[in-house]
Amino acid sequence: MEATYIKRKKDGRINIKSGNKVDQVIRWTLILLTLLTIVAFIFFNYAGLDLWTAIKETAYNLKVMFLEPRLNHLTWGELTYQVGVTLGLAFLSTLIGAIIAFFLSLMAATNLAPEWLSKIVRIFVAIIRAVPTVLWVLIFAIAAGLGSEAAIIGMLFHSIAYLVKAFSETFEEVDKGIFEALQATGAKWWHVVKSGVLPSTFTYLLSWIFLRFEINFGVAVAMGAAAGAGGIGFDLFMASNFYFDLREVGFVTYTILIIAFALEIFSTRLKNRYFPATSD
């Protein structure tokens, strides 16, 4: 049902309109983007393009890639090892990022830190978060050289900024009565955090960590090729750009999708079993 809003005119009459300003902005933004897309297609250079041939070749490549997957240049042992490398990159960047983000989020939460400190930390992590993960990895790849170190540090930066925002907002939702009760007993700041904040937010923090780990796995796949970090992403890059082996590209793609689904199922079952407060 479409939302309505009421506006009182100067003469006292009430004007009722359907929708709201946010809906109108979204609607006109979509219309503008649609028009720009149409204009872009009109001004494309179609010289030398045989559309029917392009469609047939694309369909054939997709058929070979996804209906005839096969390993040609990799063994099962090498594939398993590279998957482990990618999972290791995601795990390390998530674990280290979560530890650092926890302490920074205590300084970013408005109900746990002075206002000036909270603003400084929030501005700092907002700047980091505004830079895409890929760019951070490339920056450190230039500074430290291509390899897993640059990938982990680059992923770590964005993970910290992401989790600081998530953790601090979770801390700010803690009931004020908990703070008042603990402070009334003479508890110090750290005792308030340890005895009041952590027990009531622990399951939510783990839920955010699980989510970030899933994100970092996808990022680690991309960084395997972009930063030379190795892993399954580098094998995908080699199969597509060096060997031009569509069958192996399809097999590696299926492997990545299966692992992503497995991580999602594992995290969902774990949260439902041990952390029911975070499940839907």
Q: What local confidence, expressed as pLDDT, does residue 173 receive?
A: 85
Contact 229, 148 (CB under 8 A): yes
Instruction: Give the C-alpha separation, 270 to 280, whole Å.
Output: 13
Taking the model in full, what pTM does it have?
0.75
Per the listing, tokens 């050289």 go with 145
What are the start-end ranges of the H helices in 6-114? Answer: 21-42, 51-67, 76-108
pLDDT value of residue 278: 47
- For residues 26-40, give the mean pLDDT: 90
The pLDDT-based confidence of 195 (bands split at 50, 70, 90) is: confident
Q: Does residue 1 carry a pLDDT above 50? A: no
pLDDT tens, residue by residue, 99-139: 999 999 989 988 888 888 989 999 999 988 888 888 888 78
247: nearest Cα among 71, 56, 60, 58: 71
Q: What angle do CA 151, 157, 161 make, to 5 degrees?
A: 145
| Domains, the chain, ordered by start | 4-66 (no CATH), 71-278 (1.10.3720.10)
Average pLDDT, the chain: 82
8 A C-beta contact, residue 125 and residue 161: yes
Least Cα distance to 196 among 172, 176, 178 occurs for 178
For residue 251, what pLDDT band results from cuts at 50, 70 and 90? Answer: very high
- The tens digit of pLDDT for each residue in 211-247 reads 899 888 988 888 877 666 778 888 888 888 888 888 8
